[in-house]
């Protein structure tokens, strides 16, 4: 028996068998010069890789049990692209002029092609950009000898053990088979962690030796709440954990009994508790957790799931389904936050040297106004089915916000010209995720109907800590006084401007922080739905005036350790 410690990311206990998934990381593509007499050899390797990729695609097409007509067409299209003479011509021309290795040449040609298509005004052509990226990845995988297996095709229940599962991998996996997640990499606020939580998967991330120590078939206990993985547990430990699973379920069932009771303190201070969702299907289940609406719909997962830019109709139907499922409760749709660790294959963001500071979120949308407007039109059209709010991610200053609002106005004009209606009043919110937004919140408030504080990024950009890097995750302290002061300043600025302050970062669902956030005056807490009952229970047992005193003390602490000690003392 061996205990491996990592970061507690999503609570719950699971006992099961490990499945090691090692092909998840797409390694860096090698780049080196070649001599003129190596060109034909490289082209020969390319020809072989294309043949192998096409054979693999045919196999996938014929071997899939329940393949839809649509999927079959995609496989055919990918085969055609891999064998396309023009593509081959461009590869030859480029290698003969640049004398670089074939993997790099394929990547470059595919990137240039995708980029040209991405900016096209024709949605069909834009969608082809992702296909080109997908096909080229497959060819490059063959050139580099990488074997990939699919997580969507699991026959047994497993605990997935991976080096670094990408958000798109997590989306595609068979969720009824994966029971828990263990990763070498990752932090509490990485997007894979957020998805794992949304799927209700107990998860422990940041165990740097996990894939070295665990082999497929090992028995594991994953204790998500404690951030522990027990490898090959003895009988006594297994028995103890089986009892804990039963207790955990019983306690949670009691909390669920709070149902739709208001999130109101003992002295009558009321706040709203809402849910964060990543995929439309999650909306169906939110009522049972007592969610008063959706405070953050991460719309980019719609794009990530299909691996391409979603067209207007597809988005419209997805947004409508969410709005209808909420039965009149408000839905806040965050415009796409692509880039960073959420890459749409085929976009240059994949090769930015510092993607978290690069073309991400609102910057991405503003750089591709046609794609942005398509999303806004889809949201506008869906707004006739129920209350919708729009919010823009990663706003760094008033110029970006004004530009985004101007494009929203253009999208409204386009809807009117097409005779498509939309709701008269749609609130527009600003996500506060960058210190610069807090420092200029008095200006942003003038053009915003609400603020929503994204603490995952606010912590990352304030403390200069990559949110996905487990090596520095010890620094990502949400209760660091700098972070608390910024949160306080954002809430105060919202109130001074007469608007509400929401929070949709992971901190909003952290029970440890509940009294502190209440005391800081937060109006709305948005979190993974499973966290709502516990937070509601804490709010209903709290006294608002005492929480205000606690918050005052906390923002005047000198260190996160002091703040945490204060919160521990409060929790008794």
The residues annotated as belonging to the active site are 191, 504
- Using CA atoms, how far residue 480 sits from 88, 424, 497, in Å, is 54, 41, 26
Which pair of tokens denotes residue 49?
């890789």
- Cβ closest to ligand PEP, residue 103 vs residue 457: 457
- When CB distances are held under 5 to 8 angstroms depending on the partner's kind, the choice from ligand PEP, Mg ion, none that residue 298 binds is ligand PEP
- Using CA atoms, how far residue 58 sits from 48, 70, 120, in Å, is 15, 15, 30
Phi, psi of 207 (to 5 degrees): -95, 95
- Taking the alpha carbons at both ends of the chain, their separation in whole angstroms is 33
Which pair of tokens denotes residue 21?
């998934």
- Please return the burial class of 342, using the count of CB atoms within 10 Å of its CB with bins 0-12, 13-18 and 19+: buried
d(CA 103, CA 97): 15
- Cβ closest to Mg ion, residue 139 vs residue 458: 458
- When CB distances are held under 5 to 8 angstroms depending on the partner's kind, the choice from ligand PEP, Mg ion, none that residue 223 binds is none
- Find out whether 162 and 211 touch, Cβ atoms under 8 Å: yes
Minimum CB distance to ligand PEP, residue 331 (Å): 15
Q: Does 346 bind Mg ion (CB under 5 A)?
A: no
Identify the residue among 211, 315, 455, 479 touching ligand PEP (CB under 6 A).
455
- Cβ closest to ligand PEP, residue 104 vs residue 560: 560
- When CB distances are held under 5 to 8 angstroms depending on the partner's kind, the choice from ligand PEP, Mg ion, none that residue 455 binds is ligand PEP
Minimum CB distance to ligand PEP, residue 433 (Å): 5
Q: Does 501 bind ligand PEP (CB under 6 A)?
A: no
- Cβ closest to Mg ion, residue 14 vs residue 275: 275
- Cβ closest to Mg ion, residue 21 vs residue 451: 451
Which pair of tokens denotes residue 190?
């990485």
Please report where in the chains the tokens 């936050």 appear, as a residue. 337
What one-character DSSP code corresponds to residue 339?
A: B
Q: Does 473 bind ligand PEP (CB under 6 A)?
A: no
d(CA 357, CA 354): 6
- Find out whether 381 and 316 touch, Cβ atoms under 8 Å: yes
Which pair of tokens denotes residue 133?
């990226």
User: Count residues contacting ligand PEP (CB under 6 A)?
Assistant: 11
d(CA 414, CA 411): 5
Identify the residue among 56, 127, 433, 466 touching ligand PEP (CB under 6 A).
433
Q: Does 457 bind ligand PEP (CB under 6 A)?
A: yes
Q: Does 134 bind Mg ion (CB under 5 A)?
A: no
Q: How many CB atoms lie within 10 A of CB 298?
A: 23
Q: Does 343 bind ligand PEP (CB under 6 A)?
A: no
SS3 category, 182: strand
- Cβ closest to ligand PEP, residue 12 vs residue 339: 339
- Find out whether 206 and 183 touch, Cβ atoms under 8 Å: yes
Q: Does 454 bind ligand PEP (CB under 6 A)?
A: yes
Compose the 288-327 pattern: x for residues touching ligand PEP by CB under 6 A, - for all others.
--------x-x-----------------------------
What one-character DSSP code corresponds to residue 100?
A: B
Minimum CB distance to ligand PEP, residue 504 (Å): 4
SS3 category, 109: helix
Q: Kindly indicate which of the ranges 15-23, 30-38, 430-438, 487-495 contains the residues binding Mg ion, using the contact rule CB under 5 A.
A: 430-438
- When CB distances are held under 5 to 8 angstroms depending on the partner's kind, the choice from Mg ion, ligand PEP, none that residue 504 binds is ligand PEP
What is Dmax (Cα atoms) for the chain? 82
Q: Kindly indicate which of the ranges 3-11, 195-203, 248-256, 455-463 contains the residues binding ligand PEP, using the contact rule CB under 6 A.
A: 455-463
- Cβ closest to ligand PEP, residue 12 vs residue 505: 505
d(CA 225, CA 118): 42
Between strands 178-183 and 203-205, the pairing is: parallel
Span 126-165, contacts to ligand PEP by CB under 6 A: none
Identify the residue among 307, 429, 454, 521 touching Mg ion (CB under 5 A).
454
Q: Kindly indicate which of the ranges 125-133, 261-269, 368-376, 452-460 contains the residues binding ligand PEP, using the contact rule CB under 6 A.
A: 452-460
Residues that bind ligand PEP (CB under 6 A): 194, 296, 298, 337, 433, 454-457, 504-505
Residues that bind Mg ion (CB under 5 A): 433, 454, 457
């Amino acid at each position: 028996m061996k205990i491996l410690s990592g970061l507690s990311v999503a609570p719950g206990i699971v006992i099961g068998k490990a499945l090691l998934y090692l092909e998840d990381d797409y390694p860096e593509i090698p780049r080196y010069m070649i001599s003129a007499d190596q060109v034909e050899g490289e082209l020969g390797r390319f020809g072989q890789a294309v043949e192998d990729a096409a054979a693999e695609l045919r196999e996938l097409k014929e071997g899939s049990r329940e393949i839809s007509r649509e999927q079959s067409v995609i496989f055919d299209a990918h085969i055609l692209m891999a064998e396309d003479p023009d593509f081959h011509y461009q590869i030859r021309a480029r290698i003969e002029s640049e004398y670089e290795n074939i993997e790099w040449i394929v990547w470059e040609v595919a990137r240039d092609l995708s980029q040209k298509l991405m900016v096209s005004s024709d949605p069909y052509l834009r969608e082809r950009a992702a296909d080109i990226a997908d096909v080229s990845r497959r060819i490059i995988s063959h050139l580099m000898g990488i074997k990939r297996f699919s997580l969507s095709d699991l026959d047994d229940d497993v605990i997935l053990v991976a080096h670094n599962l990408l958000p798109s991998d997590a989306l595609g996996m068979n969720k009824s088979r994966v029971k828990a997640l263990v990763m070498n990499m990752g932090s509490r606020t990485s997007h894979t962690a957020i998805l794992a939580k949304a799927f209700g998967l107990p998860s422990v991330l940041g165990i740097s030796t996990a894939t070295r120590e665990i082999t497929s078939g090992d028995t594991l206990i994953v204790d998500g709440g404690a951030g522990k993985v027990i490898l090959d547990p003895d009988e006594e430990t297994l028995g103890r954990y089986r009892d804990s699973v039963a207790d955990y379920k019983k306690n949670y069932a009691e909390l669920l009994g709070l149902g739709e009771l208001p999130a109101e303190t003992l002295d009558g201070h009321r706040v709203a508790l809402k849910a964060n969702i990543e995929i439309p299907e999650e909306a169906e289940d939110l009522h049972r957790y007592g969610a008063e609406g959706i405070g953050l719909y991460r719309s980019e997962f719609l794009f990530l799931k299909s691996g391409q830019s979603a067209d207007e109709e597809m988005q419209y139907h997805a947004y409508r389904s969410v709005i209808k499922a909420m039965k009149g409760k408000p839905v806040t749709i965050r415009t796409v936050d692509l880039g960073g660790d959420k890459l749409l294959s085929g976009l240059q963001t994949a090769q930015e040297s510092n993607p978290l500071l690069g073309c991400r979120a609102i910057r991405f949308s503003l750089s591709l106004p046609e794609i942005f407007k398509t999303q806004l039109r889809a949201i506008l059209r869906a707004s006739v089915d129920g209350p919708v709010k729009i919010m823009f991610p990663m706003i760094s200053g008033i110029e970006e916000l004004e530009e985004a609002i101007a494009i929203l106005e253009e999208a409204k004009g386009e809807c009117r010209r097409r005779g498509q209606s939309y709701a008269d009043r749609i609130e527009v919110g600003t996500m506060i995720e960058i210190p610069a937004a807090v420092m200029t919140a008095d200006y942003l408030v003038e053009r915003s109907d609400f603020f929503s504080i994204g603490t995952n990024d606010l912590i990352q950009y304030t403390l200069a800590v990559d949110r996905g890097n487990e090596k520095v995750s010890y620094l990502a302290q949400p209760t660091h006084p700098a972070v608390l002061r910024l949160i306080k300043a954002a809430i105060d600025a919202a109130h001074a401007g007469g608007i509400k302050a929401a929070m949709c970062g992971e901190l909003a669902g952290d029970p440890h922080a509940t009294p502190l956030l209440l005391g800081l005056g937060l109006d709305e807490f948005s979190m993974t739905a499973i966290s709502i009952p516990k937070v509601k229970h804490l709010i209903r047992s709290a006294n608002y005036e005492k929480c205000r005193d606690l918050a005052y003390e906390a923002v005047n602490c000198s260190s996160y350790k002091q703040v945490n000690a204060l919160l521990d003392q409060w929790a008794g």
